Amino acid sequence: MIKVEGLHKSYGANHVLRGIDLALEKNEIFGLLGPNGAGKTTMLEIMEGLRTREEGHIDIMGHTPAEAVRKGILGVQLQSSSLPEVMTPLDAMTLFCRWRNQEVRTDLLSRFGLEKEMKKPYKHLSMGQKRRLHLALALAHEPGILFLDEPTAGLDVEARVALHEDIKNMKKKGLTMVLASHDMAEVESLCDRVGILVSGRIKKIGSPRAIVDEVAGETIIRVKLATPHEWPVFTHAERHGESAEGHVEWQTEDALEGLLEILGHIKKNDLALLDITLKKQTLEERFIAIAKEDDAE
Amino acid sequence: MKPWLYTIYLKTRLDWRSSEIWITHFLVPIIFFFVVGAVFTAVMPETEETLIPTMVIFTATMGALIGTSGTLLPYTETPTRKSLKAAGIPFSSILLSTFVAGLINLLIVTFFILFVAPLAFNAAHPQSYAVFFGGYFLFLAPTLLVGILLPLLAKDASRLTIYSQAVFLPSMLLSGIMFPFEMLPGALSAIGYILPATHAMMIMTEDAFPIVNLLVLLGFIPALLLLIGWRMHRLLLDEG
């Protein structure tokens, strides 16, 4: 459905994208993760036809991004969208629909909870209402592919949950979506596949589960004692760090052996144990680890 | 064609919702017209001869450089520009609708002045309406184009104010609408000569088209269109 090959982009001496290759399937929600400045917005905006590229090829259902915009294949909700202050949601929807030669989609404004705000100037809409308006505008021409750049940034919990439901419903209707977000839980719960973009390259790609499971063998053992203790070096668990709440953490590839070794030490030294937990890495921790690996390189 | 017409209709309506447009296109020019009309014709009765072209040029200059340019600025800001581009709305449709909306508003006030000035201040009618309107449109077009170019050059409202004033004030002081052009010192009259308002004043007070002024005003239009095209291309080529 979307194929990106060898995408490069620089701003002066700053080489932002360094050879992006990507293929997206129909009806997939693809999440794009990356630290600030990784090139997520640049990559999305090139795919949306909003920016030029230096090298590389993008094919969107047989079209270039600019053609895909003209033909109404793409719907785009930008990270920072805006409209003139005096324009109402109804004006905007009418304008957008007229340029697509279609009926005015007031039904979408109602669906996104903007029925009462249809004639309210843009400057008087809340952040959440603006986001929902731009989403409604992006969907007005029923695109096959929807780009969402930080769609829930600045939204309260209620609006965020409502938008997540909308995204899930749009998937059920067959839409393919590309979602850039800083919210790991959002990406984990919504996306079929995730690409982790670091320093202009996609470092990992796969389902959120698969990315986490790459380090499935690794378990974190967290222990909290009543009194400070000088811990020895264990054979089956490697010291990982210490939490702000006073938990000492070990990372182990053999959870059972590691746990037995630590518990054995506690029993042998008659230490007062307050808390002990085992946990797998989350997508967020995995993401941080991948970003750190890149820093180290 | 329909989306273009709707964009012009919408922009005109949006402009009418803007207090800035009411002030710069209607209120200030009309108040200024009554004040200047009353004071100048009382102190210097000969200004009755030039009151209409003076006020019409003032209205168009203020409306285009301060009002129209201000209403275009929000559309040139990156988030709005990108939102429109992503929706497949050509930016040229916004520029065209800004031009037409400005033209409509300023024509309304021009007709008001043309109708009221002879009645209220005994102002002289134009010697030739054909020459008057020919000169007026040849002046209004480049002036509105300057009003469109300025927000494409300015990155924010404060810079736009500086750019607008940098064109507006010389247009008022050096074009011959406040003082006779011939009274200006050499260097200032040279500056005045490159302003559309100077040539408009020279045409609109004549009964036949002065060919040089006509050609100068005609020359402004393609030059400004080229500059607008170049700025638009720069803005839309890449947002980086």
A62, part of any domain: yes
Q: Tell me whether B185 touches chain A (CB under 8 Å).
A: no
A287, part of any domain: no
Same domain, A178 and A51: yes
Same domain, A233 and A86: no
Q: Can you tell me the distance from the alpha carbon of A211 to that of A195, in angstroms, rounded to the nearest whole number? A: 9
Q: Tell me whether B1 touches chain A (CB under 8 Å).
A: no
For residues B111-128, give the mean pLDDT.
92
Same domain, A162 and A135: yes
Domain edge (last residue) among A207, A235, A259: A207
Q: Tell me whether B77 touches chain A (CB under 8 Å).
A: yes
Residue of A60, A87, A103, A131 to mutate, testing the B interface (most B Cβ within 10 Å of its Cβ): A87
pLDDT in the model for residue B11: 96
pLDDT in tens, A237-286: 888 788 877 889 898 888 888 899 999 999 999 999 999 988 777 777 77
A111, part of any domain: yes
A296, part of any domain: no
Domain that holds residue A74: 2-207
Q: Do B82 and A52 touch (CB under 8 A)?
A: no
Q: Are B239 and A50 in contact (CB under 8 A)?
A: yes
Same domain, A145 and A274: no
Please, which residues 95-134 of chain B have a Cβ atom closer than 8 Å to chain A? none
Q: What residues contact B192, with CB distance under 8 A and at least 6 apart?
A: B170, B174, B175, B176, B181, B184, B198
Q: Tell me whether B139 touches chain A (CB under 8 Å).
A: no
Q: Can you tell me the distance from the alpha carbon of A9 to that of A54, in angstroms, rounded to the nearest whole number? A: 5
pLDDT in the model for residue B208: 74
pLDDT in tens, B224-238: 999 999 999 888 765
CB-based burial, B157-189: b 16+ in 10 Å, e otherwise: eeebbebbeebbebbbbbbbbeeebeebeeeee
Q: Are A147 and A139 in contact (CB under 8 A)?
A: no
Residues of B with CB below 8 A from A80's CB? 78-79, 82
Q: Are B154 and B109 in contact (CB under 8 A)?
A: no
Please, which residues 13-32 of chain A have a Cβ atom closer than 8 Å to chain B? none
Residue of A95, A120, A137 to mutate, testing the B interface (most B Cβ within 10 Å of its Cβ): A95
Give the sign of the dihedral formed by CA A207, CA A209, CA A212, CA A216: negative
A295, part of any domain: no
B74, closest residue in chain A (CA to CA):
A84
Same domain, A67 and A129: yes
pLDDT in tens, B50-93: 899 999 999 999 999 999 999 999 999 888 999 998 898 999 99
A292, part of any domain: no
Same domain, A200 and A248: no
Q: Can you tell me the distance from the alpha carbon of B31 to that of B37, in angstroms, rounded to the nearest whole number? A: 10
Domain that holds residue B114: 2-237
Q: Are A32 and A44 in contact (CB under 8 A)?
A: yes
Q: Do B89 and A121 touch (CB under 8 A)?
A: no
Q: Can you tell me the distance from the alpha carbon of A174 to that of A43, in angstroms, rounded to the nearest whole number? A: 23
- Token pair, residue A272, equals 């007062």
What's A56's domain CATH number? 3.40.50.300
A241, part of any domain: yes
Domain edge (last residue) among A167, A183, A207: A207
- Complex-level ipTM: 0.86
Share of chain B above pLDDT 70, in %: 98
Same domain, A180 and A244: no
Same domain, A232 and A144: no
In chain B, how many domains are there? Answer: 1
pLDDT in tens, A65-91: 989 988 889 999 988 889 999 999 999
A139, part of any domain: yes
* Minimal CA separation from A78 to chain B, in Å: 7
In chain A, how many domains are there? Answer: 2
B70, closest residue in chain A (CA to CA):
A84
